[in-house]
Amino acid sequence: MKITRKDFLRISGLSLLAAGCKRAAESVSQPASSVRAASTQPVRWGMVIDLSKCREKDGCNACIHACNAAHNIPQIANHAHEVKWIWTEPDATVFPSAQTDFAPQTVTETKVPLLCNHCANPPCTRVCPTQATWKRDDGIVMMDWHRCIGCRYCVAACPYGSRSFNFEDPRPSIESINPDFPTRTKGVVEKCNFCEERLARGLKPACVDACPQRVFTFGNLADPESEPRQLLRERFAVQREPELGTGPSVFYLV
Amino acid sequence: MNALYSLLAVLALVLAGFACGQGAPARMVLATFVPYAAFAALLIGFCWRVARWAFVPVPFHIPVTCGQQKSLVWIRFAKIDNPSTRWGVVSRMAAEILLFRSLFRNNRARLSGGRLILGESASLWLCSLAFHWTLLLIMLRHLRLFLEPVPAFVNALERLDGYFQIGVPPLYFSDVILVSAMTFLLFRRFRDPALRYLSLFSDYFALFLLLAIAVTGILMRYFTRVDILSVKQFALGLAAFRPGASQALSALFLCHLLLVCALAAYLPFSKLMHMSGVFLSPTRNLANNSRSQRHINPWNAPVKTHAYVEWEEEFRDKMQAAGIPLEIENETEDAGNARTN
Amino acid sequence: MLMLDKALKGSRRYWMWLLCLLCVIVAGLCFYLRQLNQGLGITGLSRDVSWGLYIAQFTFFVGVAASAVMVVLPYYLHREKQFARVTILGEFLAIVSVIMCILFIFVDLGQPSRVLNIILYPSPRSLMFWDMVSLSGYLLLNAIVAFVTLRAEREETPAPRWIKPLAILSIPWAISIHTVTAFLYSGLAGRSFWLTAILAPRFLASAFSSGPALLILLCLALRKLTAYDVGKDAIRKLAVIMTYAMTINVFFVLVEVFTVFYAAIPEHTVHFEYLYLLGGGHNLAPWMWVSAIFAIAALVILFTPAWRRTQLPIACILVFTSLWLEKGLGLIVGGFVPSPLGAIAHYAPSLPEWTIVAGIWSVGAFLITVFYKIVLSVREEVES
Amino acid sequence: MRDRVWIFAGLAFFVAALTCPAWYAVANGKASNKSKPPNLELPANQKECVAPAGTMRAAHMQMLIQWREDVVRHGDRRFVAFNGKVYEKSLTRTCLGCHNKEQFCDRCHAYSGVSDPYCWNCHNDPQTVAGSRTRSTP
């Protein structure tokens, strides 16, 4: 098969040109222009976690299992090398500054689900030296595992411990690989991506769908009529360490 | 002028390559006949040159070297720079061939305030070293096209060369180093008036030709793209004496091929023969032991000598008769005495 | 003949030393290849302590590199002639330190094959980008200044005029490399241990004492091993610089300690408690106390007139070790433990990690030996 | 005189190195069929790729990188092919949906001496993954 001049022009010239223009455009307008930017309505994906519902079914890890299966998250025995996208910690650990001296033990010891907060002003994307992690126009803090050099500056910058580093090859520690989602390679940082790949297909995040208690409410925070916004209007919610000015998009109903 | 002519010559070759890419008969000639002719020229020419050198007598044992020669036991001598044994010579040759030892001594003479200064000049050594090593690496990498199955070391070289993930296909660092080193070597000749005066057509031609080969190769790999499958088929066909050019081979590839053929055919008749010549340089490949061993040149014609002792012997009677004092009064008794004198 | 040729002619002792260093380098390289193959899991690093010995060593050697300014500044700006024989040694020390810094960063990367992404996708919002710019610029500046002046010296011609502006430019640049390195840490909202404006001044103070301490030790070693003497004046001046920088450094640490403990915000105190609380089972605490005691001991020696000259080598070793422990170990690990979620994760560098670090130290020692050898041979040749 | 042995030995080595492709072919016993390309298994269920075969051969890597940038960084997953067909920009779903990695990608890469790209460090081959899954679960 001969490559005609037309082919040559199309594949090399145009793609190079297009890539160059795109690069130039990106550098001028700071955040990468996403397709959704074209739509008139702004989007900021967010999540509300109802802890009272979660407390009702203590010890249920359906959300974690769903996430692990969907994203090929390795189950590494060595705690030091663990990879976590969504996991649970005691209430006192998650909200250290929101504890009162005489709070009931049931509250302080309840397990609270944690995940990346997809901050409005994320410290991790600020420090990344290669723009391997960045905030999309729809508020999702994304990771580009092709570009990450593994410097772990974002791990140091994240105040929520949401980022994990692949200290070893994750593949041997994955029970069954979901071919639709890439595994990661050793030496890159990863974290929750708000199931960006499911959102693109019009689905809700895996944890949201998997929860039997409907603890998670996911939606567009920029839309005043969305489900999470209605919940936040009705009930008192907290964010993790709001005093750091990061503006988490994950809210907890206590 | 020399530079311009050689540039034009290389450009003519490039154009010829492109022109061959257009017509089917020309393609056939270029893809089947030319490589064999060039390769035959390379092999025969190379062997012929080396064989001729092998039969040239080395007239002297040339001790022109650097460093202290081996002499008295308490004087430290340069074992590698001025070897006295065969192993010393081997290490000196290795330093010369692998590290360009003698070029390492290069310095640039200049006048400053009426004073001659032999200044630093690391760039020539560094760039030529970089150029030659990357050229070797690139040639070894090309073996992937000629050998099936591809040997593991060729794959390893390829992975190492493209280790840093820059673009697709990954950028080879050897390509970058080769082209920048060659550009330096070229501009070195333009920059210095003395060097420009010394440079001949052949100096520029070799540089331009190699540069053109590198550039066409780089263009193919990173910009216009080439169907590597047909290239490999073509290369394997050449090796198996079953040549045949697929239609998928682009004009640029044929151009690259023609330039390589030109280089191969030109090599035995050019200064590029320093490739084998370096092994035969007598100032490098001979041990400097002429003080401890007598080297007799086997080709020397026998020289008729007539020493004083012989002369005295011849005229002994006449000298004695004339009362002229003799060095050796009596052959048998005073021989030792005379020797001490 | 190239100046590099001078490095090829040396005594047996010189070659043995280089050979020993080469062995350590090879050992480090072997472990590094293993790290490349298996990932950073072979180090002592963990999810909670994601930076360790490598980055700590990087930070420490940025300081050593920056300290070259302490000889360049008096020599080029104040024309202090005492520094004539030591300035170039300081510059080469800076060059070698920056090379070591780059190596420490490189071995810390999880995906070293993508390291050039820092240049391919430059991100001016990241301080790591600026650190790369400032470090490579500093390396270039020092390399040009050192090699060009040395070459001029060898050719017995005056150094070109444009060298002086470059040397003077390297002064603020030296300040910038360590300031930017401090900003790497002090700009992180979640890490309260580093979240203090005094971090950059502290870094500079510790740099200006650890760097001269190392330089004095190197000069003394040169005096002992070779005929080269930088002169008493130069060493005394360097010692004075080291003394005051160390004093300021200790003062800065105490200022920090006061603020943290008097304000008593748990987020801030926990890190100090982790680092200094003996008996808490924290493996770092004894070393931090060694660092503190060494610092005090060094100051006592340096401020006692009878000792400051006779015991100078010991004082230098104390200063260097103290700061190496404080900056090359405590500062980075202390920032990670306890983690933002309150987890106390113990960090102890593993054998591969130590060996790789030793390998990089040996690269540094190898390069400094070769560079100093060239400098000394050139000076010897010119003087004879 | 004695040196001629060395010179001709060196020359013989050089000639042998230069002609190694021919010897290699003989040694591997494939002189008869060695110039044949590898047997690349083409998908049975599809006749057309996302671009003409020549383009794909020469520039599939560039296209994959372009897709990667589009999907990961711009959320753009729709690819309109030269013939107007619409595909999803996905290595696993689109490319490997038809092609077999081992019998297509790997074979050609091995033949042309292109070492395995880092794609496979993370991206999965659905067929081998499915195979291992059935093996591991009894």
Residue A11 at interface with chain D, using a CB cutoff of 8 Å: yes
Whether residue D57 lies inside any domain: the answer is: no
Which one of A15, A35, A183 has the shortest CB-CB distance to D75?
A35
User: Considering only CB atoms, which chain A residues are within 8 Å of D57?
Assistant: 1
Containing structural domain, residue B205:
2-285
Q: C-contacting residues of A 143-182, CB under 8 Å?
A: 147-153, 155-161, 164-169
A146 vs A143: CA distance, rounded Å: 9
Q: What is the pLDDT of residue A17?
A: 47
Indicate whether B319 and B261 sit together in one domain.
Answer: no
Share the mean pLDDT of chain B. 87
Whether residue B296 lies inside any domain: the answer is: no
How would you write the pLDDT of chain B (341 residues) with one tens digit per residue? 788 999 999 999 999 888 887 888 888 888 889 999 999 999 999 999 999 999 887 766 766 668 888 888 898 888 888 888 889 999 999 999 999 988 888 888 888 778 888 877 888 999 999 999 999 999 999 999 999 889 999 999 999 999 998 888 899 999 999 999 999 999 999 998 888 999 999 999 999 999 999 999 999 999 988 888 889 989 988 888 888 777 778 889 999 999 999 999 999 999 999 999 999 888 888 888 888 888 777 777 788 888 888 888 888 889 888 988 888 776 554 444 444 44
pLDDT above 70 coverage of chain C, percent: 99
Q: Is the per-residue pLDDT at C343 higher than 70?
A: yes
Q: Do D77 and A15 touch (CB under 8 A)?
A: no
Containing structural domain, residue D11:
1-31
Q: Is the per-residue pLDDT at C110 higher than 70?
A: yes
Q: What are A132-136's contacts with CB under 8 Å, separation 24+?
A: A132/A189, A132/C117, A132/C121, A133/A189, A134/A31, A134/A32, A134/D73, A135/A31, A136/A31, A136/A32, A136/A34, A136/A196, A136/D75
Indicate whether B238 and B273 sit together in one domain.
Answer: yes
Pairing of strands A45-50, A250-253: parallel
Q: At what angle do helices B201-218 and B173-191 cross, to 10 degrees?
A: 150
Which one of B42, B144, B248 has the shortest CB-CB distance to D112?
B144
DSSP state for residue A37 in the 8-state scheme: G
Whether residue B290 lies inside any domain: the answer is: no
Largest CA distance in chain B: 102
Instruction: For residue D113, give how far its alpha carbon lies from the nearest alpha carbon of chain B (Å).
Output: 5
Assign A165 to helix, strand or coil. strand
Residues of D with CB under 8 A from a CB of B: 1, 3-4, 7-8, 10-11, 14-15, 18-22, 24-25, 28, 30-31, 34-37, 54, 57-59, 61-62, 64-65, 108, 110-115, 117-118
Residues paired with A47 in a beta bridge: A218, A250
| Contact yes or no for C306/C42 (Cβ under 8 A) | no
pLDDT band at D131; cut points 50, 70, 90 = low
Into how many domains does chain B fold?
Answer: 2
Q: Is the per-residue pLDDT at A246 higher than 70?
A: yes
Q: Do C113 and B163 touch (CB under 8 A)?
A: yes
DSSP state for residue A203 in the 8-state scheme: P
Instruction: For residue A79, give how far its alpha carbon lies from the nearest alpha carbon of chain D (Å).
Output: 23
Into how many domains does chain C fold?
Answer: 1
User: Considering only CB atoms, which chain B residues are within 8 Å of C155?
Assistant: 112, 117, 119-120
Does residue C338 have a cis bond before it (omega within 30 degrees)?
yes
| Contact yes or no for B169/D112 (Cβ under 8 A) | no
Indicate whether B183 and B332 sit together in one domain.
Answer: no
Whether residue D119 lies inside any domain: the answer is: no
Whether residue D40 lies inside any domain: the answer is: no
Q: Do C341 and A161 touch (CB under 8 A)?
A: yes
Indicate whether B205 and B327 sit together in one domain.
Answer: no
Instruction: For residue A107, give how far its alpha carbon lies from the nearest alpha carbon of chain D (Å).
Output: 40
Q: Pull the structure tokens for residue B327.
A: 């060095």
How would DSSP label each residue in B86-150?
HHHHHHHHHHHHHH-HHHHT--EEEEETTEEEEE--HHHHHHHHHHHHHHHHHHHHTHHHH-SSP
Count of helix runs (H) and strand runs (E) in chain A: 11, 10
Q: Do C45 and A188 touch (CB under 8 A)?
A: no
Nearest residue on chain D to B164, alpha-carbon basis: D118
B85 vs B89: CA distance, rounded Å: 6
Share the mean pLDDT of chain A. 86
Instruction: For residue B155, give how far its alpha carbon lies from the nearest alpha carbon of chain A (Å).
Output: 22
Whether residue C166 lies inside any domain: the answer is: yes
Whether residue B184 lies inside any domain: the answer is: yes
The larger pLDDT score, comparing residue A203 to residue D130, is at A203
Whether residue D20 lies inside any domain: the answer is: yes
Indicate whether B213 and B280 sit together in one domain.
Answer: yes
User: Considering only CB atoms, which chain D residues are within 8 Å of B239?
Assistant: 21-22, 24-25
Q: What is the pLDDT of residue D132?
A: 53
CATH of the domain at B80: 1.20.950.20
pLDDT, average across residues A159-186: 93
Instruction: For residue A81, give how far its alpha carbon lies from the nearest alpha carbon of chain C (Å).
Output: 6
C-alpha pair distances (Å), C82 with each of C71, C236, C313, C368 = 10, 10, 20, 22
Tell me, letter by letter, the H, E, C secondary structure of B154-219: HHHHHHHHCCCCCCCCCCCHHHHHHHHHHHHHHHHHHHCHHHHHHCCHHHHHHHHHHHHHHHHHHH
Q: What is the pLDDT of residue A208?
A: 96
User: Considering only CB atoms, which chain D residues are within 8 Å of A134?
Assistant: 73
Q: Do A12 and B225 touch (CB under 8 A)?
A: yes
Residue C184 at interface with chain A, using a CB cutoff of 8 Å: yes
Instruction: For residue A215, give how far its alpha carbon lies from the nearest alpha carbon of chain B (Å).
Output: 43
Instruction: For residue D7, give how far its alpha carbon lies from the nearest alpha carbon of chain A (Å).
Output: 47
Q: Do D54 and B227 touch (CB under 8 A)?
A: yes
Q: Do B227 and A1 touch (CB under 8 A)?
A: yes
Nearest residue on chain B to D26, alpha-carbon basis: B240
Q: Do B165 and C3 touch (CB under 8 A)?
A: no
Nearest residue on chain A to D92, alpha-carbon basis: A180
B265 vs B42: CA distance, rounded Å: 5
Q: Do C126 and A81 touch (CB under 8 A)?
A: no
Whether residue D45 lies inside any domain: the answer is: no
Containing structural domain, residue C68:
52-190+361-379
Into how many domains does chain D fold?
Answer: 1
Q: Pull the structure tokens for residue B77.
A: 């001598």
pLDDT, average across residues C232-238: 92
Indicate whether B194 and B323 sit together in one domain.
Answer: no
Which one of B150, B168, B228 has the shortest CB-CB distance to D62?
B168
* pLDDT tens for each residue of C82-99: 888 899 999 999 999 999
C interface mutation test: which of A149, A164, A183, A184 has the most C CBs within 10 A? Answer: A149
> Residue C243: which of C86, C70, C94, C20 has the closest Cα?
C70
Q: What is the pLDDT of residue C143?
A: 95
Cα–chain center distance at A157: 15
Whether residue C270 lies inside any domain: the answer is: no
Whether residue D59 lies inside any domain: the answer is: no
Q: Is the per-residue pLDDT at C198 higher than 60?
A: yes
User: Considering only CB atoms, which chain A residues are within 8 Å of D125?
Assistant: 179
* pLDDT tens for each residue of A112-147: 999 999 999 999 999 999 999 999 999 999 999 999
pLDDT, average across residues A67-90: 94
Whether residue D130 lies inside any domain: the answer is: no
A interface mutation test: which of C111, C191, C339 has the most A CBs within 10 A? Answer: C111
Q: D-contacting residues of B 164-183, CB under 8 Å?
A: 165, 167-169
Residue A75 at interface with chain C, using a CB cutoff of 8 Å: no
Q: D-contacting residues of B 194-223, CB under 8 Å?
A: none
